[in-house]
Structure 1
Amino acid sequence: MTQTKQKPIGRIKSSVLQWLGVPISLTNGEFWNAWLGGSNWSGKRVTVDSALQLSAAMACVRLIAETISTLPLGFFEKLPDGTRKTAANHPLYEILHNQPNADMSAVTFWETVLASMLLWGAAYIEIRRSGSRIIALDFLLPSNMTPPKRNRDGEIEFWYTDPGGQRRQIPESDMMHIPAFSTNGVSGISPIAYGANIFGAAMAADQTSAETFKDAMRSPGLVMMDSVLKPDQREDIRKHVDKVSKSGSVMVLEKGAGFQQLTLNPADAELLASRQFNIEEICRWFRVPPFMVGHAEKSTTWGTGIEQQMIAFLTFVLRPWCVRIEQGVRKSLLTPAERSRYFAEFAMEGLLRADSAARASFYSAMTQNGIFTRDDCRILENRPPMGGNAAVLTVQSNMLPIDMLGQKTDAGAAKDALNTWLNQTSKGSE
C-alpha cells in the first residue's frame, strides 16, 4: 500500500478519483474493483478518455447521443377523452423541450446525458427548485459521483464532489438518476469498465499498426557481408544505407557485400484483420450496426439488407434509450398526482425530417386513413393551416369525411339530386 500512496494524482485511474476523501478499507470490494477496473489482457490502460480515442467507440457514442438528442422531446397532458395535448403551460415543458439550465440548450443537455449513460453506465442530474417548482436541471459529472448505495433506511445516497473539491450529499428527492443496463437496479454497468479487454485490445492493435506504418512497415532490407564487422564499420554501413534510401541515389557496398530488400504487407502481419475484428467487437458493445460507423464489411447480415438494419437500429438501440429517459422524467420530475396526467415522449418521427420522400409517404398514409388532417400535416411542416376541408378527417374511399362513412356515395347523392330537380321542373311547367 505504500507504493500506491506515492502514485501522483495525475496517474490515478479516473474511475478511482470518485473515491477521493472516502474512507477505504481492505475489505471494500467496490473500491478495489474500480482500482483494477482498467486492467485488461492487453496491458493497456482503459479509461473513458482513452476509449474515446478509438474511432469506432467515438462513432458509436456520437451516433446514439446525437441522434436521440436531436429528436423533439415533447411533454404532454392526457385528456379525459383519451386524447392528449401539448402541455405548453407546464413549467417542465420549457425545461425539457428547450433549455434545461442557463448553460445548455436541450440538444447539448440530452447529448451529454446520453454520453454519460453510454460511457459511465448512468446519468446524474441535480434538480433545482424554487419552492416546489422545478426551475432547472443541472448535469453532474459522472466521474465525480460516488457509486450510489442504499442505506439502512432504504434511501439511495448520492455523494458528489464539486469541481472545486467540496464533497456533498444530494438528497434523493433532488436527484434525477438514470441508470443504463443494470444488474442490481441501483447502479448501471459501464461498457468501458466491463469491456476493458475489448477496448484494450483495440488500443494495442492501433499502437502496433501505427508503429509498423511509422517505419514503412519494414526495414529497407538486409546488407549481407562475407566477414565480421567492427561496431564502427557496422554503423558506417547503416548510415550509408539510410542516406541512399532517402535520397534515391546509387548504393555502394564493399567487401563482397550484398543487399536484399525486405517486404511485409499488412495482411501478412494480420493487422488489418485484427483491426476490423476490433471494430465489430466495439460495435457489438454499443449494439450499433457496423455499417453505421463506416465499417462496410458484412453489411447485409440482418434481414434483407441495410434497410432492415436501420429498422433494427431504431427498434433495438434508440428506442430503449428513449424509454429510459422518458421513464426517468416520470419518476424523478413528476409528483405522484401528476404521473397519471402528464408524460414526456420523444417524437421518433423527427428522424424523417432529413428524408422528404419518407416524410411524404408517412403523411399520405396518415391522411388517407383518417388519422391526420391535411392541416395537421401542414403544421408539422411549419406551414399555416388552411382551415375548411383541410381540417376535416378523410379516408381513401372517395376521400369522404370520416363521419359520412356508410352513407350514399357521391354518385348516388348526385342521382337523387337530379331526380329531385327534374320533379320540381315538371311541376313548374304544369
Structure 2
Amino acid sequence: MDFDSPVLREFLGAGRASAAGVAVTEKLALRNSAFFRAVKLVSTSIGMLPTFLHRRLPDGKTEKAKDHPLYRILHKRPNSFQTAFEFKSHMQLCALLDGNAYARIVWGMKGGRRAVIALIPFKRGSIKPDVSDFGELTFKYQPSNGGPQTLSASDVFHFRHPISLDGLKGVSLLDMAVETLGLASAAERALAKMLAKGVMAGGAIQYPTVLGDEAYGRLRDSMNEDHSGADNAGEWFILEEGGVANPFTTAKDAQSDEMRKRQVEEVARFTDVPRPLLMMDETAWGTGIEQLGLLFITYCLLGWFVAWEQAIERSCFTVAEQDADELYVKFNEGALLRGSLKDQAEFYSKALGNNGAWMVPNEVRGSFELDPREDGNDLPKPAATTVAKPPKEPADA
C-alpha cells in the first residue's frame, strides 16, 4: 500500500498536519458541515445528471447511440453492484478528496464489437499511475491479496481533478484546504470545550457593600421570576443599593462567530460552490433558484463535465472509435436548470416560436416524459405575414 494512501492515513490516525495543531483526516473534514455539504452537492449533482453516448451522423444530425454497449454502462448500470448515480457520485467524491478516482475497465465482445462491459472502482489507495521514460502509461496496483501488479492504461479508467501539479495526478482537496479545515476544527473544539467546562453565566451584579438578607432575597426572586427563560431574554435589571450589572459577553464571542463564518467562505472558495448553496443566507445572489443553478453549473460543474467527458472518451473508446470521431459523451446539465412551470412554459414557447424556432414539439414532449407525435418532428414554420391594405376611399357622389 502506498504511504500516501488515504486508507493508511486514516488507519494510523495521522492525517494532514495543520498550523492549528489539528491533524486533518477525511472523516474530520467531512464532519465540517460546510465541507460536507459542498462535496455532497458536487458529487450528487454529477451523479444525478444524465450522461449519454451520442453519435454524429453523416447528414450532420446526431442521435443517442443506444445500440452501443457503453450507452448502458454510462446511463444505467456500470457494474453489478452500483447504479450509474452511485458510481458517478462515488468517483466524483474520490476525485474531490484524493484528487484521483480509478476504476477497472472490463472489456468484452458485444454485438460483434469489442467494448466496455463494466467499470469497477478500485479501492482507494490501492493504485497509482506511472509513466516511463518513453511516455508509456501504466498503473501500479496492489490488490488486497497477492503481490503488486502492473496494469496497462487500457485496463484502467482514471478520472482526476482538473488541476494537476505533474500532469498525471490531480490535486487533493484535503491537501489544498488543510489549513482551512484545521482552523475550523480547532475553532469548533474550542467552542465545545467552553460550552462543556466554561462558566456560562451571562454576567455579575456588583455591589459596593454586602447585601442584607432581605435585599438579597428580593434580587434572587426577581432574577428567577422576571429575568429567567426565553420570554425574558434581553430584559434589563432594576437594581437598588448601588448595584452595577457587568455582562460577561466580550468581543471574543463575536470573533469566534466571525471566524466560523470565515471558514465557510474559505470552503466555498476551495470547492467553487456558491455561498448561498452553503446556506450563507445573509448573502443573496441572483433573483431565484434558476440563477443559482446557472451560477453553480458555470463556475463549479462545467470543468468537471469536461473532465468526465474527455476521461471517458480517452479510456472507454477503442482506438478505431477515437479515430472515427463519431461517438462522443455529453452530460445533460439542463436537468439542473429546470425552473418553475411558468419559466419552462416561457422558454419552450420561445423555442417553438413562429420566428426562428430551434426545437421541435417532440423534443419538448420528451423533456416531460410524454409520448412523441407523428407530426412532431418538424420545426414550426414561420407564420405568414400579410401587409395591411389602406382602406378604400369612398366614391364621389
TM bin (shorter chain): 0.7 to 0.9
Partner of 2:273: 288
Q: What's the TM-score, normalizing by structure 2?
A: 0.77
Letter in 1 for 2:179: N
Match of 2:36 among 39, 47, 58: 58
Question: Residues 266-345 of structure 1: matches in 2 within 5 Å?
Answer: 268=253, 270-300=255-285, 308-339=291-322, 340-345=325-330
Letter in 1 for 2:20: S
Q: Is the CA contact 1:329–1:344 (under 8 Å) kept in the aligned structure 2?
A: yes
Deviation at 1:267, TM superposition (A): 5.5
Partner of 1:160: 141
Deviation at 1:222, TM superposition (A): 8.2
Q: Is the CA contact 1:378–1:384 (under 8 Å) kept in the aligned structure 2?
A: yes
Deviation at 1:14, TM superposition (A): 5.2
Match of 1:379 among 366, 370, 378: 366
Letter in 2 for 1:370: A
Q: Distance in 2 between matches of 1:205 and 1:165?
A: 44
1:393 lines up with 2:379 in the alignment:
yes
Q: Is the CA contact 2:105–2:156 (under 8 Å) kept in the aligned structure 1?
A: yes
Match of 2:167 among 179, 182, 185: 185
Q: Distance in 2 between matches of 1:171 and 1:17?
A: 25
Deviation at 1:272, TM superposition (A): 0.4
Partner of 1:86: 64
Partner of 2:249: 264
Cα 1:13/1:220, change in 2 over 3 Å: farther
Q: Distance in 2 between matches of 1:306 and 1:380?
A: 19
Letter in 2 for 1:194: M
Match of 1:196 among 178, 188, 204: 178
Cα 1:391/1:307, change in 2 over 3 Å: closer
Partner of 2:157: 176
Question: Residues 241-260 of structure 1: matches in 2 within 5 Å?
Answer: none
1:362 lines up with 2:353 in the alignment:
no
Pick the structure with greater CA Rg: 1
Percent of aligned pairs sharing the same letter: 29
SS state of the match for residue 103, structure 1? coil
Letter in 2 for 1:178: F
Q: Is the CA contact 1:352–1:359 (under 8 Å) kept in the aligned structure 2?
A: no
Deviation at 1:304, TM superposition (A): 7.9
Partner of 1:17: 8
Q: Distance in 1 between matches of 2:199 and 2:326?
A: 65
Q: Distance in 1 between matches of 2:16 and 2:196?
A: 28
Partner of 2:240: none
Cα 1:203/1:164, change in 2 over 3 Å: farther
1:108 lines up with 2:86 in the alignment:
yes
Deviation at 1:155, TM superposition (A): 2.0
Q: Is the CA contact 1:14–1:47 (under 8 Å) kept in the aligned structure 2?
A: no
Deviation at 1:309, TM superposition (A): 4.9
Which has a greater percent of helix?
1
Deviation at 1:128, TM superposition (A): 0.9
Deviation at 1:101, TM superposition (A): 0.4
Residues 266-306 of structure 1 deviation map (CA, whole Å, 9 limit, x = unaligned): 85362100000000001110011111011123334xx7898
Q: Distance in 2 between matches of 1:222 and 1:193?
A: 46
Q: What's the TM-score, normalizing by structure 1?
A: 0.71
Deviation at 1:161, TM superposition (A): 3.1
SS state of the match for residue 391, structure 1? coil
Q: Distance in 2 between matches of 1:355 and 1:269?
A: 40
Q: Distance in 1 between matches of 2:64 and 2:257?
A: 52
Q: Is the CA contact 2:115–2:317 (under 8 Å) kept in the aligned structure 1?
A: no
Q: Is the CA contact 1:17–1:144 (under 8 Å) kept in the aligned structure 2?
A: no
Deviation at 1:67, TM superposition (A): 1.2
Q: Distance in 2 between matches of 1:262 and 1:411?
A: 81
Match of 2:130 among 149, 160, 168: 149
Cα 1:275/1:141, change in 2 over 3 Å: same
Q: Distance in 1 between matches of 2:147 and 2:204?
A: 62
Partner of 1:96: 74
1:208 lines up with 2:190 in the alignment:
yes
Long gaps (5+) in structure 2: 207-219, 226-244, 388-397
Q: Is the CA contact 1:124–1:177 (under 8 Å) kept in the aligned structure 2?
A: yes
| Worse overlay, 42-51 or 127-136 | 127-136
Cα 1:160/1:223, change in 2 over 3 Å: farther
Q: Is the CA contact 1:182–1:189 (under 8 Å) kept in the aligned structure 2?
A: yes
SS state of the match for residue 119, structure 1? helix
Deviation at 1:345, TM superposition (A): 0.2
